[in-house]
Chains A and B, each alone.
Chain A
Amino acid sequence: MEKITLAGQLFQYLITGLTVGSIYAMVAVGFNIIYNVTEIINFAQGEFVMLGGLIMVFFHVTVGLPLILAFPATVILVTLVGILLDRLAINPIRQPTVLTLIIATIAASILLKGTAMFIWGKDPYDLSAFSGRSPISVFGAVIQPQYLWVIGFLIVIVIILSIFFNRTIIGKAMSACADNPDAASLVGINVKQMILLSFALSAAIGAVAGITVTPISLMEYDRGAMLAVKGFGAAVLGGLGSFPGAILGGLIIGAIESFGAGLISSGYKDAFALIVLLVVLFFKPSGILGSIEISRIKRF
């Protein structure tokens, strides 16, 4: 093994930070979709990721479907779970307040986690990497090819979402619901349907995150919570509701964790990212790319 230089180490920290950060970014994007339409933070977002991974294991390993079929099958199934979540947990609430909705999504995440534990047990599961496991060397730093898939999917998802929300009628309708649901319904937008769609989309993205991440770090029934917290942090850091913000937030958190672990103390690495988050919020209470008007939040 060749000796590694400080510059080599730093570069590795950067690469690792960006790759791990892209996972957080994907979760953050999922948060933002639902937030953009409903102003709800879906605490069950992490469970979509977990289900994506475990259901993919079911289709690909247990049932034996090839990757190309198992992937869409998984995404569809998780999307259905997302739709179920909206229908059973969100829609029935008659007088939604922010706290009630937070509790409803927490309840849903508990349900999903309990069901996953029941079906898959507590063991971790593995998926074969999409294009092999030989690490790619980039100027002395290594990167798992699977991470390139993660980043690739992230970019594709963000591009599609941007086009969707800015150029298509449905997308614009969804954004209208976030700005002013009453006005939106006055012009004929079916707000409830838009909410349903946002949950479906969010679930789909969560599933993609889960599928692409499992070959790297395995997946088990209780991974969801940690990913949700980090993803939420990334979304808030970047500014709730902003997709570029979500990516920025995710990458920053990943990088801080990586550099913090490598250069200062690995025991405190999670704390570093959170401290940075608090400092940013102190100076810019609506996140880096967030807009002030979002802060006119309804009370609990």
Chain B
Amino acid sequence: MIRIGKLPIAVFALCIIIFPWLARQITAISHYTDIMVFVGIYCLITIGLSLLMGYAGQISIGHAAFYGIGAYVSAILTTRYGLNPWFCMFIAVLITGGIAFLVGAPSLKLKGHYLAMATLAFGVIVYIIFNEEAAWTGGPDGMSGIPGLSLFGFEFDSIERYYYLVWGFVFSAFIFTVNLIQSGTGRALRAIHASEPAANAMGVDISRFKILVFVYSAILASLAGSIYAHYLNFINPSTFDLFFSIKLLIMIALGGMYNIWGAIIGAGLITFLSYEWLHYFKEFEVIVYGAILLLVTIFLPKGLAGVPEIAKGWFRR
């Protein structure tokens, strides 16, 4: 297990804080702040997912559903009932957490590909509900007019304000998760991941921890969904489809599963690739994307977060 040092976190925080200022100085990348808002939103999801897949060893190809439930609950409660967005965000977290608990408990019995298919099925069912229940969700045309966020009169109505809000959330989640990993819960998770029978023999309640991590990852995804809804002021079901769940998986795999930093690296890289950098390849965009993915999978099995390790290995020679 890699010890998450405090220094890299501080350095990264500093970089995040000065990034918008830096982007404004260089015209070619001044719209990158906007992209970074989405990177932040996705990081919230990937941090939880990385914990789930890397530490608890559970796969989920349906996490877009939790992202979507958070977004839709926030959207419906704020547009239909005019409730305070922060309150709705909290309600969304409760609802999503509850659903995650109900879904997670029975899936404990499932292993490997069966679990993968079950989470996939769950994700698709939720997507179909978003699409069909138009009276609540607006159907395929989505819901517009979702209000933005504000705190005691301070409106988060510019790209930069939202950027700091989102990354504030990301750092909170990151630090909380790191503490979780380095606590007793984390040790239990690592024991389960290394060997379930052994952990069981030592008295670790496996089911409880697996569900805990599953619900935690769902809650983070729900927060991300609410934040997304209030930023775009519009949501529609296609944002929360199977392809997004797969994209999340790719972020985790590319970034590296066994390291929480991998969640951030993966989210950042895939977001920039698909929203910005791959445009230069025009009609080859999809082919290049697939090729990059394949190359990283083959040559960097531990993802990009594993690069420092590889580099250290080289220097030792």
Contacts and interface: CB of A to CB of B under 8 A. Distances in A.
Decide if A and B touch, CB cutoff 8 A.
yes
Contact of A271 (B125, B257, B301): B125
B264 to A, nearest CB: 18
Interface of B: 53, 57, 59, 106, 109-114, 116-118, 120-122, 124-125, 128-129, 131-132, 193, 242-243, 246, 249-250, 253, 257, 283-287, 289-291, 293-294, 297-298, 301
Interface string A155-188: 0000000000000000000000000000000000
Interface stretch (A65-73, A95-103, A145-153): A95-103
B114 A286 contact: yes
Nearest to B254: A103
B301 A107 contact: no
A113 interface: yes
B283 A274 contact: no
A100 B253 contact: yes
Given A99-B53, A118-B287, A106 B114 contact: no
A233 B129 CA distance: 19
Nearest to B298: A92
A98 B125 contact: no
Listed from nearest, the 6 A-B pairs whose CB atoms lie closest are A114-B286, A297-B112, A111-B290, A110-B290, A107-B293, A114-B287
A54 interface: no
Interface centre among B57, B59, B112, B122 (most CB of A within 10 A): B112
Interface of A: 35, 41, 88-89, 92-95, 97-100, 102-104, 106-115, 117-118, 225, 229, 232-233, 236, 240, 265, 267-268, 270-271, 274-275, 277-278, 281-282, 285-287, 295-300
Nearest to B246: A106
Nearest to A40: B113
Given A89-B294, A106-B250, A229 B57 contact: no
B189 to A, nearest CB: 13
B129 A271 contact: yes
Contact of B121 (A113, A114, A233): A233
A271 B128 contact: yes
Contacts of B114: 236, 240, 281, 285-287, 295
Contacts of A109: 290
Contacts of A117: 283, 286
Given A107-B297, A236-B114, 5 more contacts: A89-B294, A107-B294, A110-B286, A268-B132, A275-B121
Given A114-B286, A300-B57, A278 B122 contact: yes
A221 to B, nearest CB: 10
B113 to A, nearest CB: 5
A98 B112 contact: yes
A100 B109 contact: no
A111 B294 contact: yes
A206 B297 CA distance: 25
Contacts of B129: 271
Nearest to A221: B286
Interface centre among B121, B287, B301 (most CB of A within 10 A): B121
A114 B53 contact: no
A99 B117 contact: no
A123 to B, nearest CB: 15
A271 B124 contact: yes
Nearest to A232: B117
A240 B111 CA distance: 12
Nearest to B57: A299
Nearest to A112: B290
A229 B287 contact: no
B293 A103 contact: yes
Contacts of B125: 271, 274-275, 278
B242 A114 contact: no
Contacts of B110: 281, 285
A240 B113 contact: yes
Contacts of B132: 265, 267-268
Nearest to A295: B111
